[in-house]
Amino acid sequence: MRTPLNISTDLSLDLEEVIGQCIAILGIRGSGKSNTAGVIFEELLKHNYPLSIVDIDGEYFGLKEKFEVLVVGTGDGVEIEVDVDCAEEIAAISMEKNVPVVLDLSGFLSEERNAFLQEYLTALWNLAGKLRRPYIVGIEEAHEFIPQGTKTELKELIARIALRGRKRGLGAIIVSQRSAKVEKDVLSQAGILFLHRVVHEADMRVYSEILPWRKSEVKELITSLATGDCVYVNGDTVLPIYVRERETFHAGFTPSLEVVVTPQLKQVSQSIIEAIEHAKQGKGKKTRLDTLRDKITRLEAKLAERDKKIEQLEEIAHTLGYIKVEVPPPSLPDVQQISKAIVHSVESPAGMRPATTPAPRPIDQLDSENADPTAVIDIDQAPPLGDGHLPAAVVRHIDRIAARVAHRGVLERRILAFLVAHAPLAYSVEQIAAWTDCARGVIENSPPREFLEMGLLVRERRTTGTHYRSSLKAFVSREFGLYQPDIGPRELHAIIQLLRTRILARGDSALIAL
Ligand SMILES: Nc1ncnc2c1ncn2[C@@H]1O[C@H](COP(=O)(O)OP(=O)(O)O)[C@@H](O)[C@H]1O
Ligand SMILES: [Mg+2]
CA contacts within 13 A on the Cβ side of 198: 23
The verdict on residue 145 lying in a domain is yes
Tell me the per-residue pLDDT of 303-337, one tens digit each, with 9 for 90 and over. Answer: 887 888 788 777 777 666 554 445 455 554 444 44
The verdict on residue 278 lying in a domain is no
Same domain, 236 and 339: no
The verdict on residue 219 lying in a domain is yes
Same domain, 20 and 139: yes
For residues 384-396, one letter each, b for 16 or more C-beta atoms within 10 angstroms of the residue's C-beta and e for the rest, the string is: ebebeebeebbeb
Ligand 1 test: best mutation among 6, 35, 36, most atoms within 8 Å of CB? 35
Query: What lines the ligand 1 site, CB under 6 Å?
Result: 27, 29-35, 227-228, 243, 245, 250, 252-254
Q: Which atom of ligand 1 is nearest to the CA of 244?
A: 1
The CATH number of the domain where 112 resides is what?
A: 3.40.50.300
Same domain, 349 and 468: yes
5: pLDDT confidence band, cut at 50, 70 and 90?
A: very high
Ligand with minimal distance to 229 CA: 1
Tell me the per-residue pLDDT of 92-146, one tens digit each, with 9 for 90 and over. Answer: 999 999 999 999 998 899 889 999 999 999 999 999 999 999 999 999 999 989 9
Same domain, 235 and 383: no
What are the residues whose beta carbons fall under 8 Å from the beta carbon of 446, sequence distance 6 or more? 297, 298, 301, 409, 411, 412
Q: Are 477 and 377 in contact (CB under 8 A)?
A: yes
Closest residue by CA, ligand 1 atom 1:
228
Ligand with minimal distance to 39 CA: 1
Kindly give the distance from the C-alpha atom of residue 32 to the centroid of ligand 1, in angstroms, as a whole number. 4
- What DSSP designation does 141 have? T
The verdict on residue 199 lying in a domain is yes
Question: How many domains is the chain built from?
Answer: 2
Identify residues whose C-beta is under 5 A from ligand 2, the ion: 34
DSSP assignment string, 323-343: -PPPPPPSSS--GGGS-HHHH
Same domain, 504 and 375: yes
The verdict on residue 488 lying in a domain is yes
Kindly give the distance from the C-alpha atom of residue 202 to the centroid of ligand 2, in angstroms, as a whole number. 20
The verdict on residue 38 lying in a domain is yes
Ligand 1 test: best mutation among 28, 227, 241, most atoms within 8 Å of CB? 227
The verdict on residue 146 lying in a domain is yes
pLDDT value at residue 311: 80
Kindly give the distance from the C-alpha atom of residue 206 to the centroid of ligand 2, in angstroms, as a whole number. 20
pLDDT value at residue 468: 94
Q: Could you tell me the residue range of the domain that residue 114 belongs to?
A: 4-242+264-268
Same domain, 340 and 422: yes
Give the integer Cα–Cα distance in Å for 309 and 11.
Answer: 75
Same domain, 216 and 355: no
Tell me the per-residue pLDDT of 175-192, one tens digit each, with 9 for 90 and over. Answer: 999 999 998 989 999 999
Percent of the chain with pLDDT over 70: 79
Kindly give the distance from the C-alpha atom of residue 436 to the centroid of ligand 2, in angstroms, as a whole number. 44
Same domain, 430 and 328: yes
Tell me the per-residue pLDDT of 398-418, one tens digit each, with 9 for 90 and over. Answer: 998 998 999 888 889 999 999
The verdict on residue 299 lying in a domain is no
Kindly give the distance from the C-alpha atom of residue 38 to the centroid of ligand 1, in angstroms, as a whole number. 10
CA contacts within 13 A on the Cβ side of 71: 24
